[in-house]
Each structure stands twice: as structure tokens, then as C-alpha cells.
Structure 1
Amino acid sequence: MAAAHSSNAENKIVRVDISSDTVCPWCFVGKKNLDKAIAASNEKYNFELRWHPFQLDSNAPKEGIDKKEYYIRKFGSRSEQMAARMSEVFRNVGLEYSMSGLTGSTMDSHRLIYFAGQQGLDKQHALVEELCLGYFTKGKYIGDQNFLLECAAKVGVEGAEDFLKNPNNGLKEVEDELRTYSSNIGGVPYYVINGNHKLSGAQPPEVFLRAFEVATS
């Protein structure tokens, strides 16, 4: 996995602000492509990646709902075709897409991502990877606190259990970020590079590479 930053003081800084939702499969594909672009240019740039919340469905149930059932309710007859398409897209980035398990509210995952970011951007970036791997490929429920804590432990986030136990911890900060980063965009993933170069959608690595060049020229 690409690190959130490199450490050559002479390199140009590339800051990437990423708006995403943890149940958005295109956001995970975009992350994998971004990681490839970073790995290919890590000797040229110092990267600072910051993840910001977006909610595709702010009313999704906290207790969870069967993923297949949810997509049928939301997309009707198109849901099977969409799942087949995502399976193909995931295979192209070396992953197996799973429609098993539950989906639901992503607020706790966004609170945890915010909390991880307070302990370092590398931890935050690594946490997003673990959350997405579990949800999209292993049938884990994004609203399950045990799953969230497993992911936090894997990437070394300290104090996650006490933090998540109180539903108000990080809530204001996430809501502030939703207003700041998500209120003016129509969908995710959405990237702002060095404050002004904007990209939307799961772009291929070469598009990110060109954007890095433009943003630092």
C-alpha cells in the first residue's frame, strides 16, 4: 500500500483532499488507482492525503440491512447488472467484489476515520484500506463496532474503543467536514489536489499522474 507521504524534503508537496463514503465501491477503486499513481511517483513528490466524509444515504439504518435487499430497493432491476459490473471493475484492480453481508449507516466509520487522522495521515489512509477491504470483499458490516475496532487495531489506531463508545465523539467534526467538503459536490469519489485541481470519479492512475504534474507546475 502506498504511504500517505514520502519524506524527501526537496520534493514538491502534493496534497490530496479526498471526499468519499465507505460504502461507495467506486471510492475504493479510486483509492487503489490513486495508490498506484503515488507508488509510481513517490520519488518526485511528498504526498499528504486527507480523507473527508460523504454520505450517499444519510438515512441508512444504523442496525444494518441486507446488502442485496438494499440495492434491489434502491435500484430495482438494475441492481444485478450493477453488481456484475462492479465485480468486473474490482477484478481489474485485483480484488473480488462481494455482495454478502449488511450495509447501513456509515457515520461511525467516518468518526473513526477522523479519529485516525488525528494520529497521523498514514494511519488514516491505512484505516480506509482496511475498512473497504472488509466491507467490499469480506462481507463485513461497516456499522459493526467490532469490525471497526478490528480495523483500527490492524493499523495501530490507539484509543478507538473509548472513542467510538460515545456516539458524540467526533460527531461535530464529521458534520463540519460534511458541510465543508461535501455540500457542494454531487458524488464521490471527489479529489482536490493542492487546493484547486479537481477530479471526480474513480480515475485511472495516469489521470492522477497528470493531475500531480499540473498541480505542481
Structure 2
Amino acid sequence: MSSSSGLKQLIRVDVVSDTMCPWCFVGKKCLEKAMDETKEHYDFEVQWHPFMLDPNLPKEGVDKFEYHRKKFGQSTQSLVDNLDQAFQRVGFHYGSGGKIGNTLDSHRLIELAGRQGLDKQNAVVESLMVKCLTQEKCVSDREVLLNVAESAGIEGAEEWIDNPNAGLKEIQAEIEKYGHNISGVPHFKINDEYELAGAHAPHSFIRTFKRASQDSE
């Protein structure tokens, strides 16, 4: 998700997200649509930062629909229907079944991927979210994490995932730096100045790209 032609203005996007967050996936797809529509004008550098919506979730996971039901009560099915409609608008279906687990290890894998390139990092984020939010896989599952890492060509993933301390300090520092003053995700910061909170439509991103590029002239 980055290039360096030298002829276009660079737009830097820092994204704070959680791999279990459906609106983060919708926001990701809307960001990518906006980037695709403006690629003739800008180069993009996108970096992903961790946020944990529920650090208390067990690693072995819990039933996803039941988890939503305990949190949202009678409005759960309406929420699921709204999510599926939003997912359909970006070309997917929301998977409300399966298990949902602690996302720390998924963020540690994203950290490792980022060290090997932002394109690899984005590929890992995409795959983790697709597995969790559309394929009803649990991103705390070791085999799911290893499958994602292999698909993205991440080196040293098995040793990294099996060491619970690998990347932990970095994740904690990132959460403190990028997540301490926000109440929810997704959260986008563009060129270190403009902020968008939530899953905005592509035109909102495009408008912000334009403002950011004008300021850098």
C-alpha cells in the first residue's frame, strides 16, 4: 500500500484498529476505495496500529453471537443485519458465527509483519479481518495465525507467535501512543494532522486527502 514515484504527493495514513472489529474492516475497504480513486494524484503510506476492544477475552475464544448478545441484548440481530448490509456494500458478508478470541497475538503478528514491510503488514491485517469477520475463524487460534503469516510470506512467524513476549512491549507502547486518547475504532490519522473516527465513506477520505495535500504544498 505504498509507492514512491516521486511525482505525486505522499499521503500518510495511520490506522488504529482491532482485528475483531467489523467496522474496522468496513473502514479499511472504504479507505482502499478512496485510495484507488485518487491513485493518479497521490502516493500512499499506510501503517496499522493496535487497539484491543476487549483485552479480557480468553485466548480459547467464546461464541461470537452469544458474545454480541450479552453486550447488545435484544438489538443483537438488528446489529448483525446492519453489519451484513455494510459488509455487502464493500463486497463481503458478515460472519456472525464461530468464536471470537483475544486479539493480542494477532496484533503481535501485525507488528512482525510491519517490520518486514508495510505491504506485508496490510496483507496480514486484511487476511486476519477476513478470517475473523467473514469466514468465522478465531484470530487467537495459532493455526489461523500461522496460515495468515504463511500466505503473506512472513518470515519467522512460528517462533514469534510461540513466544508470548515477542513484540509485547512494542504493542503496549503503540496502544499507549495511538490509542490512549480515542474511545473507539477505526480511527484514521492522515499526515499526522487530520483525523477521521469511524468507518467513513470513500468521499470523506478523498476530501481529507485533498485538504492534507493542500497543506503540504
Shared fold (TM-score, shorter chain, > 0.5):
yes
Equivalent in the alignment of 2:186? 189
SS state of the match for residue 48, structure 1?
strand
2:28 aligned with 1:31, yes or no?
A: yes
Q: TM-score, normalising length from structure 1?
A: 0.97
Equivalent in the alignment of 2:123? 126
Shift in Å, 1:113 = 0.4
Equivalent in the alignment of 2:72? 75
Q: Which runs of 4+ in 1 moved over 2 A?
A: none
User: Are the aligned partners of 1:6 and 1:45 in contact in 2 as well (CA < 8 Å)?
Assistant: no
User: Are the aligned partners of 1:6 and 1:42 in contact in 2 as well (CA < 8 Å)?
Assistant: no
The number of residue pairs the alignment matches comes to 214
Shift in Å, 1:191 = 0.4
1:41 to 38, 41, 64: 38
d(CA) in 2 for partners of 1:44 and 1:156?
Answer: 30
Shift in Å, 1:6 = 2.3
Equivalent in the alignment of 2:112? 115
CA RMSD in angstroms comes to: 0.8
Equivalent in the alignment of 1:172? 169
Q: TM-score, normalising length from structure 2?
A: 0.97
Gaps of 5+ in 1: none
Q: Deviations over 1:105-147 (max 9, x none)?
A: 0000000001100000000011111111111111110100110
Q: Deviations over 1:23-76 (max 9, x none)?
A: 110000000011111111122112110100011111111110010111111111
Gaps of 5+ in 2: none
2:153 aligned with 1:151, yes or no?
A: no
